[in-house]
Chains A and B, each alone.
Chain A
Amino acid sequence: MLRIERISKTFDPNSVNAKKALDDLSLIAEDGDFITIIGANGAGKSTLFNAIGGSFFVDSGRIVLEDQDITYVKSNLRAKKIGHLFQDPMASTAPDMSIIENLALAGMNKGMFSRITANDRDYFREKLKELDMDLDKRMDTPVRLLSGGQRQALGLLMATVNKPQLLLLDEHTAALDPGSAEKVMELTCRIVEDNGITCLMITHDMNKAIEYGNKIVMMDQGRIIQTIDKSTQKNITVEDLILSFRNRQGKDLDNDRMLLGI
């Protein structure tokens, strides 16, 4: 379970460029929740993820993951429990290392001086087979030779090969071509469901926000303005979301990408 209690973050305080990116934000993700997060550009969606991931420490508030207060835990220690996938497929894998080496780095829970054994290879080969991208036959290929979709699928596997307590997906299919995006999304759902991973996903595609997950969170100006539980509101539509935003904020969801995503 992830519990975020009233976190705030202001970048460049005491300057003309001071920007309150997170404003007294609270959020709870129960075990097994799959929460989609929508909001206009600059609403603070990615900033929220970076706060959870530990790229910076928040000014106030607490972040608690599985009963452990991680508010001031360094990011590389948090990464042992939190998987983070970005929009850029190049950001989640090391291009000069082979597929198996990337996987081993993420998922081999052995000592510093351990090497990839035949057992490890078999284990990772099975995992790669589940991606259904023929990557299991090219385990020694450097990752730089893979397509964006393949790299993102590998990144997803790396983020989840040791079951994380939380998975953060920051528009992880937005930079892919439609075919790959669909494939990666399908894999995401399967892996998240099979392992019961608690997951937060930012998306600009409101259809996706409605289609996937069990809760929708709408953000604006560093705050959560609405949480929709899909078990109580089953037939919610994109129009409902847009209308609801307008009623609450007194303005339109001014995001071209978001509208085009419909």
Chain B
Amino acid sequence: MSGIISTALELGLINAIAVLALFLSYQMLNICDLSTDGCFTFGASVGAVVALQGHPYLSIPAAMLAGALSGITVSFLQWKMGIDSLLAGIIVNTALYSINIAVMGNASLVNLNKTDTVFTFCKDLLREGFLSSYYRIIVILLFVMLMILFLNWFLKTKLGLAIRATGSNRIMVASSSVDADRMTMIALAVSGSICALSGCLLAQYQKSSSIDIGSGILTIALASLLIGRIFYRHDSPMLVKICCCVLGSFVFRIIYALSLRLNVPAFMLKLISSLIVALAISFPYFYRRYQEKKQMRKEEGTC
């Protein structure tokens, strides 16, 4: 039982890193980056291949660099080639499918069973200590904390403010000294690298990477993000907003675990996450409709 819980916790935390990437691109920059799935897999495959070559630490920066490259490509298609932001994401996502297979050496699966990873490194380090059985969660927590601190710092720098302004009011930015295209490129590069980090960690965690390791991650992360959105207000401090994303990822995992308890088969995960996203996004719309109806009834009553 505790094994199931800790696995859920660990997977939830790895997922939370992808949620943080979306927090930057979707919540702050207000762009839905549809290349997220491909970018996640890109990070997983690049990380796996580099680890396979015997460089477990190098796998992390390599994966992040790959993710940044994918983000830059998406913004390049928008900025310099005049392609709509959604379409640019889909195009890159499709292209990444071929690239990922090429990266994994013309295979759709890379096995890391006997390879050193950041996890095995930590395990060796804690060999005798009392924390030795928690080595996985320690590695993951470390990265989650790093990303939380990084985002909290980044979004408050002048560059971060400019990125947030770009997402918050394009009209204002168009007449200001902020270069919206450049901000989009930087933000998508950073969010891409965080997303790829998440993929890289998952691959090393489950000791394999496959071509569909990232399929549906966008919807899952979006669902987590929107659940997390419930827990903070407009005027909450940035750190609270960021932590709520991680919390949202947990709540999503709990919902998922509960549905498994109800004997919902595992392959239903993506249907559940789609439902959550659809409902969460449409909630404000339904709420407005409800308010209008109520208003109409009230006016009918007075006639």
CA distance A112 to B154 in the complex (A): 10
Which of A94, A101, A112, A116 makes the CB contact (< 8 A) with B172? Answer: A94
Q: Is B47 an interface residue (CB 8 A)?
A: no
Report whether B158 and A76 are in contact in the complex, using a CB–CB cutoff of 8 Å: no
Report whether B234 and A114 are in contact in the complex, using a CB–CB cutoff of 8 Å: no
- In the bound complex, residues from chain A placing their C-beta under 8 Å from that of B164 are 94, 96-97, 101
CA distance A159 to B58 in the complex (A): 46
Which among A13-21, A85-93, A127-135, A204-212 touches the partner chain? A85-93
CA distance A90 to B171 in the complex (A): 9
| Most chain A CB within a 10 A radius of its CB, from B153, B164, B165, B172 | B172
The interface size of chain B toward A, counting residues with CB under 8 Å, comes to 24
CA distance A108 to B158 in the complex (A): 8
Q: A residues 21-57 with Cβ under 8 Å of B?
A: 53, 55
- CB of A247 to closest CB in B, whole Å: 37
Report whether A145 and B234 are in contact in the complex, using a CB–CB cutoff of 8 Å: yes
Report whether B172 and A144 are in contact in the complex, using a CB–CB cutoff of 8 Å: no
- CB of A126 to closest CB in B, whole Å: 20
- CB of B112 to closest CB in A, whole Å: 36
Chain A interface SS verdict (over half): loop
Q: Is A104 an interface residue (CB 8 A)?
A: yes
Report whether B159 and A105 are in contact in the complex, using a CB–CB cutoff of 8 Å: no
Q: B residues 143-197 with Cβ under 8 Å of A?
A: 153, 156-159, 161-162, 164-165, 167-169, 171-180
The interface size of chain A toward B, counting residues with CB under 8 Å, comes to 37
- In the bound complex, residues from chain A placing their C-beta under 8 Å from that of B300 are none
Report whether A114 and B157 are in contact in the complex, using a CB–CB cutoff of 8 Å: yes
Report whether A79 and B177 are in contact in the complex, using a CB–CB cutoff of 8 Å: yes
Q: Is B128 an interface residue (CB 8 A)?
A: no
CA distance A90 to B164 in the complex (A): 16
Report whether B169 and A90 are in contact in the complex, using a CB–CB cutoff of 8 Å: yes
- In the bound complex, residues from chain B placing their C-beta under 8 Å from that of A101 are 161, 164
A-B contact pairs, 20 of them (CB 8 A): A55-B174, A75-B175, A76-B178, A84-B175, A91-B172, A93-B172, A94-B173, A95-B168, A96-B167, A97-B161, A98-B235, A105-B162, A105-B178, A106-B176, A110-B158, A112-B159, A113-B157, A113-B158, A142-B235, A144-B234
Residues of chain B touching chain A, judged by Cβ–Cβ distance below 8 Å, are 153, 156-159, 161-162, 164-165, 167-169, 171-180, 234-235
